[in-house]
Amino acid sequence: MAGNRGVAYMGPGKVEVQETDYPKLELQDGPGVHPDNIGRKCNHGVILKVATTNICGSDQHMVRGRTTAPQHLVLGHEILGEVVEVGSDVEFIKVGDLCSVPFNIACGRCRNCKEGKTGICLTVNPARPGAAYGYVDMGGWVGGQAEYVMVPYADFNLLRFPDKDKALSKLTDLTMLSDIFPTGYHGAVSAGVKPGSTVYIAGAGPVGLAAAAGAQLLGAAVVIVADLVPERLAQARSFGCETVDVSKGDPKDQILQILGVPEVDCGVDAVGFEARGHGEGAAQEAPATVLNSLMEITAAGGALGIPGLYVTGDPGGIDEAAKVGSLSLSLGTGWAKSLSFVTGQCPVMKYNYGLMQAILNDKVQIAKAVNATVISLDEAPQGYADFDQGAAKKFVIDPHGMVAA
């Protein structure tokens, strides 16, 4: 039996690369596995040799101790891999196929899946709608920051690359299809970005930069990206974005200087529940700041796309309300301006085929936009530490040296 190694959460601020079980086509008991999922047969699944798997800001929330994630949970929901074993019920995916794995696990059979709402599949997580690999409260499916991983409902979930050799030459771009690129793009689509739009994106981390690249792909006239970290703002400017440094005060003043008016057509929250203040309060956590600011600066009748993560359990919340995901929102502002809000998991399969074609046909360079930086599996703990310090990079783990090859 082949071995396996994976990146495991060991407690606040700590991850380790550990020996872990080689995956089976059946859910085993383990950290975070819902009791009703133990022993669940997955003859509809495959085993992947992981080619690339990325560190995500959502992973970082867990590693900081800001969720109820259990120790020894193998992390990683951004996965691209080569099929090495197929279950007896798999019909169309074959051994040797190179595939992207949507981070949302979906059965393809329930009402929500049939309606394209794959982020809130009704069957894969007994606790609530929606599941993901290696993530807290998402059913206990083992994560992909490992050498091998099991993917259920493979015929439905996997996006097979039509030209394997061409795909291998673009791994650092195509690895973004599992989450970050569709999620950022979904934020832009949800905000109503169209040709000629002016767009404000809060957060210049990888999802914010992906949202900016997505907004450009949708034809936005001006894309403004806001952050506190100078290196991340410089990364946004590297592919044609305007920037706002929110440590210098109210974004409206800087938007006015850029556009001549203090508002935008479309707003995207790519920060989430660990948001910080603006101006002199920029160093302090203020979780409702981004959403309230977006309502202020988005034109009446506009929309907010909210791909940033919000949770219902945050042990590190600044007050009792924040610890249960309750924020002080100025909903009256949103109502008075007739703003629309779209939040929740991105339904990756709604977008990943088209974005794959954009990558393969050189219409977008998403790896360059997010500054994809390849590291080995053993370097993952340092990657987490660097990312936590605000590194303007998207860390791509290469467990088998396939990117280098």
Residue-wise burial string across 236-257, b where 16 or more C-beta atoms lie within 10 A, e elsewhere: beebebbbbbbbeebbbebbee
CA–CA gap between residue 28 and residue 37 (Å, rounded): 8
Residue 1 pLDDT more than 60? Answer: no
> Do residues 142 and 134 make contact, with C-beta atoms less than 8 angstroms apart?
yes
Place of tokens 């394997």: 164
Question: Amino acid identity of 66?
Answer: R
pLDDT in tens, 107-142: 999 999 999 999 999 999 999 999 999 999 999 999
User: Three-state SS for 253?
Assistant: helix
Q: Is the pTM of this model over 0.75?
A: yes
Which positions ≥6 away from 262 have C-beta within 8 Å?
A: 252, 253, 255, 256, 297
Instruction: Tell me the mean pLDDT in the region 342-357.
Output: 96
Distance in angstroms (rounded) separating the CA atoms of residues 201 and 226: 6
pLDDT score, position 282: 75
CATH architecture of 5-179+347-397: Alpha-Beta Complex (3.90)
Q: Could you tell me which of 270, 219, 216, 274 has the C-alpha nearest to residue 242?
A: 216
State residue 148's pLDDT score. Answer: 98
**pLDDT for 59:** 94
The domain segmentation of the chain, as residue ranges, is 5-179+347-397, 180-343
How far apart (Å, rounded) are the C-alpha atoms in residues 251 and 29?
Answer: 48
Provide DSSP, 164-177.
HHHHHTTHHHHGGG
Q: Write out the two tokens for 344.
A: 């929740």
Give, rounded to a whole angstrom, the gap between the first and last alpha carbons of the chain. Answer: 25
User: For residue 141, which of 64, 34, 55, 8 has the smallest C-alpha distance?
Assistant: 34
Kindly state the tokens that stand for 75: 């992390």
The Cα–Cα gap between 81 and 47 comes to 9
- Write the pLDDT tens digit of every residue in 254-287: 999 999 999 999 999 999 888 888 887 677 888 8
Separation CA 166–CA 159 (nearest Å): 15
- Average confidence (pLDDT) over 241-265: 96
262 contacts 256 by C-beta, under 8 angstroms: yes
* Residue-averaged pLDDT of the chain: 95
The two tokens of residue 367 are 């790896």
Question: Which of the following CATH numbers is that of domain 180-343: 1.10.357.10, 1.10.1750.10, 3.40.50.720, 3.40.50.2300?
Answer: 3.40.50.720
Q: What proportion of the chain, given as a percentage, has pLDDT over 90? A: 87
Specify the DSSP class assigned to residue 133.
B
Asked if 156 contacts 335 with a C-beta cutoff of 8 angstroms, the reply is no
What residues have CB less than 8 Å from 276, skipping those under 6 apart? 228, 282, 283, 284, 285, 286, 289
